[in-house]
């Protein structure tokens, strides 16, 4: 009887969790650690603690309070959480709002449906090419390209492909490609292709017949060596 009682207690001690956040958190640029931070805040708020302390959040995590503070800062910078305020009878109430992350997860599919799908696959593509999980800084770099530089995912993929085929698989090289493309007014994959073709035509005048004996990589511009 005691075993059944414990089982029912376990059933009642549950937290309803939106499945979408587990399926889509990587497309929002979140790391697993940042996801757990949001889930811990969510749990504590369900328990009535609307503005849990750093100590309370980190109590059931493997990170220290300093690391948690950095994660909270990054989540706010990514506009995934924020601190709301409400004044009532000269008393200011504050709480963590998870509304930004829920809005990003559940925003209408009609808004940039194709672009959103490409963004979600972009992080996965980088992880495939690098053969490892991306670091928080690398995730921030991709988010910067998307959100701050307003680059199309297809253009970022094209830059990654050039870096791979040039054997220079690092974020600095991909970023340099994108910078040079911006200088040259490249905004689409077709623009990038034209720039590469122009470089290839110039290279063909010098390369002669040697390119027949090896893979033709002249189409993939060595952007780090561009002096313009």
- Domain ranges in the chain are 16-104, 113-225
If you ran DSSP here, which 8-state letter would residue 221 be given?
A: -
Q: What is the pLDDT of residue 63?
A: 94
Q: Is the pTM of this model over 0.75?
A: no
Q: What is the pLDDT of residue 193?
A: 79
If you ran DSSP here, which 8-state letter would residue 148 be given?
A: I
pLDDT along the chain (228 residues), means of 10: 59 72 88 95 91 94 94 92 86 89 68 55 85 86 89 88 78 91 86 71 50 45 49
If you ran DSSP here, which 8-state letter would residue 97 be given?
A: E
Alpha-carbon distance of 90 to 69, in angstroms, equals 29
Q: What is the pLDDT of residue 127?
A: 87
* Domain 16-104 fold: Arc Repressor Mutant, subunit A (1.10.10)
Q: What is the pLDDT of residue 219?
A: 41
Alpha-carbon distance of 41 to 148, in angstroms, equals 28
Q: Do 16-104 and 113-225 agree at the fold level? A: yes
The answer to whether domain 113-225 has CATH 3.40.640.10 is no
């Amino acid at each position: 009887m005691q075993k059944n009682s414990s089982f029912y207690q376990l059933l009642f001690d549950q937290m309803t969790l939106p499945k979408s956040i587990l399926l889509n958190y990587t497309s929002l640029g979140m790391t697993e650690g940042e996801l757990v931070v949001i889930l811990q805040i969510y749990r504590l708020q369900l328990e009535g603690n609307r503005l849990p302390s750093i100590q309370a959040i980190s109590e059931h995590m493997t990170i220290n309070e300093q690391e948690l503070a950095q994660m909270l800062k990054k989540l706010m910078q990514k506009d995934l959480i924020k601190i709301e305020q409400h004044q009532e009878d000269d008393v200011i109430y504050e709480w963590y709002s998870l509304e930004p992350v829920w809005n990003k997860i559940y925003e209408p599919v009609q808004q940039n449906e194709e672009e959103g799908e490409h963004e979600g696959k972009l992080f996965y593509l980088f992880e495939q090419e690098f053969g490892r999980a991306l670091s928080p800084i690398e995730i921030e770099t991709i988010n910067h390209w998307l959100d701050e530089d307003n680059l199309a995912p297809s253009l970022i993929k094209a830059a990654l492909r050039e870096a791979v085929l040039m054997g220079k698989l690092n974020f600095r090289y991909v970023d340099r490609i994108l910078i040079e493309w911006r200088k040259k007014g490249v905004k689409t994959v077709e623009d990038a292709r034209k720039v590469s073709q122009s470089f290839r035509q110039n290279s063909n005048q010098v390369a002669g017949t040697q390119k027949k004996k090896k893979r033709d990589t002249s189409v993939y511009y060595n952007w780090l060596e561009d002096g313009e």
